[in-house]
C-alpha cells in the first residue's frame, strides 16, 4: 500500500524526500533515525498507520542498528532500476568522470525523459 501511495504521488515526492533526507543528515553518514523517517513521511503527507510503520521499520532496519540507510530505504520502496535507467546512469557517470564534475541539465535532457 505504501509503495502504491508513493507511485501515485510521483517523482516530485521522491526527489523531495531525497533533498529532505540530505538536508537533515547533519553528519553526512547517509542514515536516518526512526524519528527522522517518521517526521519526513509526515511532512510529505505519506502518513501510514503506526502498526504499518513499525513493520516497515523492522524490514528496513534488519541489522537492528536503530537507523536506516537512505539508499536502502529508496531501494526497498521503489525497487530496482530498470535496464534503461541503469544504462543512463552509467552514461552520466562516464561523462562526469571523463570530462567534468557536473553534467549540464541540457545534456541530461538529450538522453533522458522522465515522463
What is the per-residue pLDDT across 39-65, written as a single tens digit (0 to 9) for each? 888 888 887 888 888 888 888 888 888
Q: Are residues 12 and 42 in the same domain?
A: yes
Give residues with Cβ within 8 angstroms of 95, minimum separation 6: 103, 107
Domain with 95, as residue range(s), is 82-114
Q: Which residue has the higher pLDDT, 111 or 81?
A: 81
Longest dimension (CA), the chain: 49
The number of domains in the chain is 2
Confidence of residue 10 (pLDDT cuts 50, 70, 90): low
* Same structural domain, 18 and 67: yes
Q: Is the pTM of this model over 0.75?
A: no
- Helices 70-78 and 2-9 cross at an angle (nearest 10°) of 90
The set of residues, in sequence order, having a beta carbon less than 8 Å from that of 47 and lying 6+ positions away, is: 41
Q: What is the reported pLDDT for 111?
A: 62
Amino acid at each position: 500500500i505504501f509503495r502504491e501511495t508513493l507511485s501515485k504521488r510521483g517523482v516530485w515526492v521522491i526527489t523531495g524526500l531525497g533533498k529532505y533526507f540530505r538536508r537533515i543528515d547533519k553528519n553526512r553518514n547517509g542514515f536516518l533515525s526512526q524519528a527522522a523517517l517518521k517526521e519526513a513521511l509526515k511532512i510529505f503527507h505519506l502518513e501510514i498507520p503506526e502498526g504499518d510503520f513499525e513493520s516497515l521499520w523492522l524490514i528496513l532496519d534488519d541489522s537492528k542498528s536503530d537507523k536506516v540507510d537512505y539508499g536502502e530505504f529508496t531501494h526497498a520502496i521503489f525497487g530496482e532500476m530498470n535496464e534503461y535507467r541503469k544504462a543512463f546512469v552509467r552514461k552520466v557517470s562516464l561523462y562526469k568522470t571523463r570530462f567534468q564534475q557536473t553534467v549540464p541539465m541540457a545534456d541530461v535532457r538529450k538522453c533522458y525523459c522522465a515522463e
